[in-house]
């Protein structure tokens, strides 16, 4: 048992080590996100009211696109190097390995976005309570984006240039998340309560956390059998 | 240990790769799967390893099918394909830790493993800086990092120079004389001193 | 029972059966289509609010029903294909996708044509329209994924997983009119209550719905035969069929 925990711990460390040694690649989602949030005020003109109204949408779309862009290579290195075969053949259940990888991915990719988002929100003129709800939606919504995106990413693993197809596949599943998240923040800005939309986001989060790993494991097994 | 392939059929697209394959692999034997490119050697090895399911027929390990016996099979088997299974951002030592963690067999002496495959002193070098032959040797280190009954090797000689091939042969001979079995696919002729080699040509 | 199912799953049987069924389905479809169109365009009384513009409902609503129905059928094929690995289920799954996409597209276009006179706009981003558009993307995604993967058995497995993941969208579309305040009207025909439409308007609608279902069966069989031949060109049953045709 001790050896198993040790193994799993090392596997988690390995994700962080790899990301750290490829810092530039790991930081691109954050840079993209910040770029979008900074360019929009410059692009649409600095009218404070306009910015405040579209701020939730900007931040959420920027986060969504940033995550989408880096998801295409989620398991690609492992697939091309043959490491994926070792993962499937490992004694550890594949679903555990997948969960470790996804949690590490969330920490490396989504957490920086969530940390930086309040600054962007302030720059776009969101009020304090709206910022709080925005953070909450990001906390609940980014896992859904990552989990659902991982399904599409692993399904398209056997296709070399999977960027466009990946976007097409995730779009139907991303749009509900986007709509509920922005509607939560917008409701708060108009003085209402965000509880309804937040509950639904939480439900989506729970649904994807429980079911996505199964789909991801199925897709990985398909990819490795080639 | 016993590995049995019963009535395996495999199709790829329109082509039939093989049908009615019935083979037994006993301890101490080496089975070489030979044939031209694309004839199904890698596919057969993937089916034996459980990475892929045959269209018909089953693989049996110690009397039980692979699905029933998955954990035991994974523990007693080592898989080495022509892809190295390495993480280029990590050092040699970290890669060994990674593969032993995956195999759940972490009680290993990393320096002696590296020495065995001729990579002494490279423990803390990032794999990115290795030559192709060195990466291959590092991949081969999986063979000596855990005791296993069955080795499944898919084109193990690719990217190896003469010294590397000699090392591979040494490892195989060692493994087989201790009662292990090897199933490998290869383009080249495989000749090992004092070991009987069965060949299956697809 | 299992033997019967296995016979049904065999390609040779399916090819023969579909060849015989297609002419019947074709005739049934044409007859019902004519009855439905006559009923919808001629016999049904004009709506007191919208006049004759509402008649597009006889295409729009059955098409929308089909877009949801076909996806659910695809999900069923996906389960059969993944769990029991039956090739025919894979073939039926991928053959249904373009038909479903076409019905979704038809629903969107007819809806747009109807929307202009009724709401004054060709499009709106309300819940039902958006989720129906997303359904179209789901169909396109299935077709795109299948086309992009070379080995068709792998492609079928991947597409089956994708179909099941996308099933989440179906309840969202169906209930979108109840959950959100939308421009789109609420459901007037449900399984549980009496319909709110008068019988002369309702009958052609139901006839069209049945006609569209038959059309689905018809085009499914035609596509599935083609897909089957493409997948198994070297098989014995196909060679026998070609010989039979040569003998005639």
**Which DSSP helix (H) or strand (E) runs through B150?**
strand B150-154
Any idea what the CATH number is for the domain that residue B178 is in?
A: 3.40.50.300
Q: Which residues of C touch B14 (CB under 8 A)?
A: 232-234
Bridge partner residues of B200 (DSSP): B33
Residue C195, pLDDT score: 62
- C-alpha to C-alpha distance for A90 and A86, rounded to whole angstroms: 6
Which of A 52-111 lie inside 8 A of B, CB atoms? 77, 80-83, 85-92, 97
pLDDT above 90: percentage of residues in chain B: 29
Average pLDDT, chain B: 87
Which of these, B178, B176, B180, lies nearest to B196 by C-alpha position? B176
Interface test with A, best of C138, C165, C175 (most A CBs within 10 A): C165
Residue C191, pLDDT score: 54
pLDDT at A88 over 90: yes
- pLDDT level of residue C177 (50, 70, 90 thresholds): low
Tell which wins on pLDDT, C191 or B186: B186
Residue C75, pLDDT score: 96
B partners (3+ CB pairs within 8 A) are A, C
- C-alpha to C-alpha distance for A127 and A134, rounded to whole angstroms: 10
Residue C92, pLDDT score: 95
Helix boundaries (H) for chain A: 2-21, 23-44, 48-71, 76-81, 83-89, 94-105, 111-123, 128-155, 163-189, 195-224
Note the residue count of chain A. 226
pLDDT at A216 over 80: yes
Which of C 136-175 lie inside 8 A of A, CB atoms? 137-138, 140-141, 144-145, 148-149, 151, 154, 157-158, 161-162, 164-166, 168-169, 172
Could you tell me if B60 and B95 are in contact, meaning their C-beta atoms sit under 8 angstroms apart?
A: no
Number of compact structural domains in chain B:
1
DSSP-assigned letters across all residues of B58-77: EEEETTEETTTTHHHHHHHE
C partners (3+ CB pairs within 8 A) are A, B
- Name the CATH architecture for the domain at C22-247: Up-down Bundle (1.20)
- Half-sphere exposure of A179 toward its Cβ, with a 13 Å CA cutoff? 17
- C-alpha to C-alpha distance for C149 and A85, rounded to whole angstroms: 19
Burial of B118 (0-12, 13-18, 19+ CB in 10 A): middle
Closest by Cβ to A89, choosing from B49, B83, B89 = B49
Residue C175, pLDDT score: 75
Residue B38, pLDDT score: 78
- Half-sphere exposure of B29 toward its Cβ, with a 13 Å CA cutoff? 15
- C-alpha to C-alpha distance for A112 and A41, rounded to whole angstroms: 21
Q: Do B13 and C233 touch (CB under 8 A)?
A: no
Residue C30, pLDDT score: 92
DSSP class of C45: P
What is the mean predicted confidence (pLDDT) over C163-183? Answer: 77
- C-alpha to C-alpha distance for C108 and C150, rounded to whole angstroms: 31
Going from the C-alpha of C157 to that of each of A50, A97, B17, B61, the distances in angstroms are 47, 22, 20, 27
- C-alpha to C-alpha distance for A159 and A165, rounded to whole angstroms: 9
pLDDT, one tens digit per residue, over C122-150 is 887 877 888 889 999 999 999 999 998 88
Average pLDDT, chain C: 84
Which of these, B110, B104, B109, lies nearest to A1 by C-alpha position? B104
Q: What is the pTM of this model?
A: 0.86
CA angle B66, B68, B71 (to 5 degrees): 75
Residue C136, pLDDT score: 94
Residue A73, pLDDT score: 86
- C-alpha to C-alpha distance for B192 and A183, rounded to whole angstroms: 70
pLDDT at B33 over 60: yes
Could you tell me if C210 and C32 are in contact, meaning their C-beta atoms sit under 8 angstroms apart?
A: yes
pLDDT, one tens digit per residue, over A92-106 is 899 999 999 999 999
pLDDT above 90: percentage of residues in chain C: 37
What is the mean predicted confidence (pLDDT) over B2-17? Answer: 82
Tell which wins on pLDDT, C123 or A207: A207
φ, ψ for residue B182 (rounded to 5)?
-135, 135
Residue C2, pLDDT score: 64
The dihedral formed by the CA atoms of A88, A92, A97 and A100, expressed in degrees to the nearest 10: -170
Closest by Cβ to A14, choosing from B98, B105, B126 = B98
Cβ neighbours of B37 (radius 10 Å): 7
pLDDT, one tens digit per residue, over B118-152 is 898 899 999 999 998 899 999 999 999 989 999 99
Domain that holds residue B110: 3-201
Q: Do C151 and B13 touch (CB under 8 A)?
A: yes
Going from the C-alpha of B150 to that of each of B73, B79, B155, the distances in angstroms are 9, 9, 16
What is the mean predicted confidence (pLDDT) over A109-113? Answer: 94
Bridge partner residues of A45 (DSSP): none
Q: Would you state the structure tokens that stand for residue C80, as one six-digit string?
A: 């059969």
User: ipTM score of the complex?
Assistant: 0.89
CB pairs under 8 A between B and C: 8
């Amino acid at each position: 048992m001790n050896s198993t925990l040790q193994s799993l711990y090392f596997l988690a460390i390995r994700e962080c080590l790899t990301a750290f040694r490829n810092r530039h690649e790991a930081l691109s989602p954050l840079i993209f996100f910040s770029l979008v949030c900074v360019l929009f005020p410059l692009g649409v003109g600095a009218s404070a009211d306009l910015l405040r109204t579209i701020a939730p949408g900007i931040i959420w779309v920027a986060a969504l696109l940033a995550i989408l862009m880096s998801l295409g290579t989620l398991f690609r290195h492992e697939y091309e190097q043959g490491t994926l075969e070792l993962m499937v053949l490992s004694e550890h259940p594949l679903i555990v390995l997948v969960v470790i990888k996804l949690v590490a991915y969330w920490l490396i990719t989504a957490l920086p976005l969530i940390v930086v988002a309040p600054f962007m929100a302030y720059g776009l003129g969101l009020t304090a309570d709206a910022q709080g709800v925005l953070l909450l939606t990001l906390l609940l919504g980014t896992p859904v984006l990552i989990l659902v995106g991982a399904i599409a990413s692993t399904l398209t693993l056997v296709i070399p240039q999977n960027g466009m197809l990946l976007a097409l596949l995730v779009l139907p599943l991303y749009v509900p998340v986007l709509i509920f998240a922005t509607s939560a923040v917008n409701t708060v800005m108009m003085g209402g309560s965000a509880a309804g939309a937040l509950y639904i986001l939480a439900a989506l989060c729970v649904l994807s956390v429980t079911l996505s790993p199964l789909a991801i494991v199925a897709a990985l097994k398909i990819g490795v059998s080639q | 240990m016993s590995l049995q392939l019963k009535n395996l059929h495999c199709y790829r697209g329109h082509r039939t790769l093989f049908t009615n394959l019935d083979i037994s692999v006993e301890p101490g034997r080496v089975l070489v799967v030979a044939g031209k490119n694309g004839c199904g050697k890698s596919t057969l090895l993937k089916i034996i390893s459980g990475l892929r399911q045959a269209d018909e027929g089953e693989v049996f390990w110690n009397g039980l099918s692979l699905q029933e016996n998955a954990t035991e099979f994974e523990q007693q088997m080592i898989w080495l394909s022509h892809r190295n299974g390495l993480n280029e951002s990590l050092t040699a030592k970290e890669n060994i830790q990674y593969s032993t963690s995956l195999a759940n067999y972490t009680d290993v002496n990393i320096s002696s493993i590296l020495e065995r495959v001729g990579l002494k002193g490279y423990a803390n070098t990032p794999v990115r800086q290795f030559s192709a032959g060195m990466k291959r040797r590092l991949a081969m280190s999986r063979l000596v990092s855990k005791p296993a009954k069955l080795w499944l090797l898919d084109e193990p000689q690719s990217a190896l120079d003469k010294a590397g091939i000699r090392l591979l042969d040494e490892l195989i001979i060692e493994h087989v004389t201790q009662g292990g079995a090897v199933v490998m696919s290869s383009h080249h002729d495989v000749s090992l001193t004092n070991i009987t080699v069965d060949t299956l040509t697809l | 029972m299992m033997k019967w199912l296995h016979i049904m799953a065999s390609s040779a049987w399916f090819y023969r059966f579909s060849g015989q069924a297609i002419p019947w389905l074709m005739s049934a479809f044409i007859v019902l289509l004519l009855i439905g169109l006559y009923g919808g365009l001629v016999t049904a009384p004009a709506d007191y609010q919208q006049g004759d513009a509402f008649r597009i409902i006889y295409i729009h609503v059955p098409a929308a029903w089909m877009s949801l129905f076909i996806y659910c059928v695809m999900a069923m094929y996906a389960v059969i294909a993944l769990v029991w690995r039956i090739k025919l289920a894979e073939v039926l799954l991928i053959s249904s996708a373009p038909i479903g996409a076409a019905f979704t597209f038809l629903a969107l276009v007819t809806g747009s044509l109807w929307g202009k006179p009724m709401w004054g706009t060709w499009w709106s981003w309300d819940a039902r329209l958006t989720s129906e558009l997303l359904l179209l993307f789901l169909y396109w995604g299935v077709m795109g994924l299948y086309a992009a993967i070379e080995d068709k058995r792998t492609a079928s497995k991947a597409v089956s997983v994708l179909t099941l993941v996308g099933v989440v969208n179906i309840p969202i579309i169906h209930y979108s009119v109840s959950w959100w305040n939308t421009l789109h009207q609420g459901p007037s025909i449900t399984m549980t209550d009496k319909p709110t439409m008068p019988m002369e308007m309702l009958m052609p609608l139901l006839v069209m719905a049945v006609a569209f279902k038959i059309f689905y069966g018809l085009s499914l069989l035609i596509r599935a035969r083609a897909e089957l031949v493409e997948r198994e060109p070297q098989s014995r049953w196909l060679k026998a069929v070609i010989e039979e045709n040569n003998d005639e």
